[in-house]
Structure 1
Amino acid sequence: MTDRVPLVGGTATGVGSMPGTDPLAAARLAFDEVALPFVPELPARGPGADMVGRAAALLVDIAMDTTRDGYRLASGRTRLMSRADGFLRSDLDAVEEVVERGGLRSPVKLAAIGPFTLSALVELPGGHKVLHDAGAWRDVVASLAEGLAQRADELERRLGVPIVVQLDEPMVGAVIDGQIAPLTRLDVNRPIPAPDVAAALADLATRVGRPVVLHSCAAPRWDLLSALTGYALSLDLGQITDGDYDELGAHLDRGGRLIAGVVPTAEPATAVSADELADRLVALLGRIGLPPAVVREQVLVSPTCGLAGAGPWAPRALGLASKVADQLARLD
């Protein structure tokens, strides 16, 4: 696993999803408002553009199709795959156009659904979830790793800057606990132990060959995260409790990066300022006992989760994240 492009603290970024259906408009926001820009995801365009369907454009030698209620693995190329590929190429084209106009020196973040959340949501042809079959979910891990490596290579060639890959794994805790609903009560989806998940994610990061971020808006699972020593973590800090302090502190003590989700994804009823959000973040990290230098150099700032439903709040949320990050950069 490589760490050749470390994420720089005191920087803002977005999680990935954005409102609307216009790739160029979304790319302009993603590149103008934050110092670590990202390739926007626009799920409002429909199947193939959402977090799960987008994987149809990333998997290598594994086909996907739609069902009445979601997605399923398939045989042979499907209309969904062509649709998802078209959406992703439009997104990359938009990002390239924005970069050509404005120039760019910073890395760019490319997000995708993680293999375990994907395996929890996509069906096998027989109706079971992919994670029901150990061979199937391992194939998905390898296929997604190959596809992400190829897309990151393409994006790097297009933009001329390093690429950071983000995996969105909101359901990984339920996968580890065996809480994914089965097809029948008598044929459950067995838990996948955290060490097995960690080993698979480590293999994926090795194939991707770039810095990798694990993002989740859910409560952190330290039985997994503490084993992913080569990953940066992107967490909703509203989910952090006193019981998380030791593990989060250990991650930062060993030099790990944290993308701290502190900006609301919907406009709050009461106005919130960058000063207030920065104070909350510094106070939380101070309770862990972190010196200002660690916060300044290793902590980035983002909204708590994706902004697909944020509407007009989305650019304001990204701008607010940048103002909070600027305050972290000046800590002494």
Structure 2
Amino acid sequence: MSFPWPEASATGVGSYPGTDAAETTEVVFGELSLPHLPELPARGPGADLIGRGAAFLVELPVHLQPSGWRFADRPGVDLRRALDYLRRDLDLLEEQAPEGPVKLQVCGPWTLAASIELPGGERALRDAGAVRDITESLVEGVREHVAEVRRRLPRAEILLQVDEPSLPAVLAGRVPTASGFRTLRSVAAPVAQEGLRKVLAATDAFPIVHCCARNVPFPVLLGAGARGLSVEVSAIPVKGDEVIGEAIEDGVAFFFGVAPGTDAPLPEPARSVAPVRELWRRLGFAPGGMAGQVVVTPACGLAGASPRYVRQVLAHCAKAARTLAETPE
């Protein structure tokens, strides 16, 4: 199997602390063999997951309300701010002039639908027509985004990570209504799968789905066409993991979160990836291909970490990834 990153690679999930995008970009490119576009939500509205995700929507403007992001009749200052953050981040990415793989992150359609409000104040997830509009708009926006990055970075190979932290709640009917007293009706797995599939298929970038929930809907993500899954290694079920074995056999890559996303003592790098080795052994796979098919990451985004810990954990993940290429004693 061949993947668009070097063997024994490490990367970040997406977010980082602080507001200095230039410094963070330098850290990411300095520490990681698979660099990516950093996200800095501490800069404020428009730099957060939903605000940046809404910036990719074509002809679906949003503005910020006390309750969160809401669809509007026309673009406002909040959306312009989000677009400005994105442009500046892409300028910094272009300055690095990478020639290898680079990962981008976008918020997925189901997390956007579960978070952005309709003009009346209810979440868009309540309206099937609004969900379709979000999905179609996001498909076009992602297509334009990847095309722009390719114009800026003609020698880079683009990976596209779609973030779906709310998807398990969408499937389980656990997204609250505006009042908070009830929850919205669950979305059927085939419907969720098809909406996600459209976004993953919007470009020919290598498609990855990230889900930091404990109950990751693996069949939905795989059925949608994800060629890489970004999850905590502890989210892999010990029992009933046939779907994981089949995915490995089919050449699906795993971006395994193995280190805490907030400041914590770090063990020896080999200990952090020991669960990955155990998974490979339990499923009966030879360890030889593990270092190519597995990319090591922190457990989730690092927005809540200290700058010092960011450098430590990224270096730790890079070292842990290299141990996967070693033959255990």
Taking structure 2 as the reference length, the TM-score comes to 0.93
Any gaps of 5 or more consecutive residues in structure 1?
A: none
Aligned partner of 1:251 among 240, 247, 253: 247
Aligned partner of 2:309 among 294, 307, 313: 313
**Structure 2 equivalent of residue 233 of structure 1:** 229
Segment of structure 1 superposing worse, 228-237 or 27-36:
228-237
Aligned partner of 1:182 among 177, 182, 200: 177
Alignment partner of 2:223: what SS?
coil
Aligned partner of 1:261 among 235, 257, 271: 257
Summarize the alignment of residues 85-104 of structure 1 with structure 2, pairs less than 5 Å apart: 85-99=83-97, 104=98
Segment of structure 1 superposing worse, 235-244 or 122-131:
235-244
Aligned partner of 1:301 among 296, 314, 323: 296
Counterpart residue identity of residue 322, structure 2: D
**Inter-CA distance 213–144: structure 2 relative to 1 (3 Å threshold):** same
Is contact 2:200-2:225 (8 Å) kept? no
Counterpart residue identity of residue 81, structure 1: L
Is contact 2:233-2:275 (8 Å) kept? no
**Counterparts of 2:225 and 2:325 in 1: how far apart (Å)?**
24
**Structure 1 equivalent of residue 199 of structure 2:** 204
Is contact 1:5-1:162 (8 Å) kept? no
Pairwise CA RMSD of aligned residues? 2.0
Any gaps of 5 or more consecutive residues in structure 2?
A: none
**Structure 2 equivalent of residue 217 of structure 1:** 212
Summarize the alignment of residues 75-224 of structure 1 with structure 2, pairs less than 5 Å apart: 75-99=73-97, 104-160=98-154, 161-184=156-179, 189-219=184-214, 220-224=216-220
Segment of structure 1 superposing worse, 36-45 or 192-201:
192-201
Is contact 2:3-2:292 (8 Å) kept? no
**Counterparts of 2:131 and 2:2 in 1: how far apart (Å)?**
29
Deviations 1:245-277 (A, max 9, x none): 222111111111111111211232x44121211
Counterpart residue identity of residue 255, structure 1: G
**Counterparts of 2:227 and 2:132 in 1: how far apart (Å)?**
20
Aligned partner of 1:47 among 23, 45, 48: 45
Q: Report whether the alignment pairs 1:242 with 2:238.
A: yes
Is contact 1:274-1:324 (8 Å) kept? yes
**Structure 1 equivalent of residue 276 of structure 2:** 281
**Counterparts of 2:191 and 2:84 in 1: how far apart (Å)?**
34
**Inter-CA distance 239–188: structure 2 relative to 1 (3 Å threshold):** closer
Q: Report whether the alignment pairs 1:36 with 2:34.
A: yes
The percent of aligned pairs where both chains have the same amino acid is 36
Taking structure 1 as the reference length, the TM-score comes to 0.92
**Structure 2 equivalent of residue 68 of structure 1:** 66
**Structure 1 equivalent of residue 321 of structure 2:** 325
Aligned length: 325
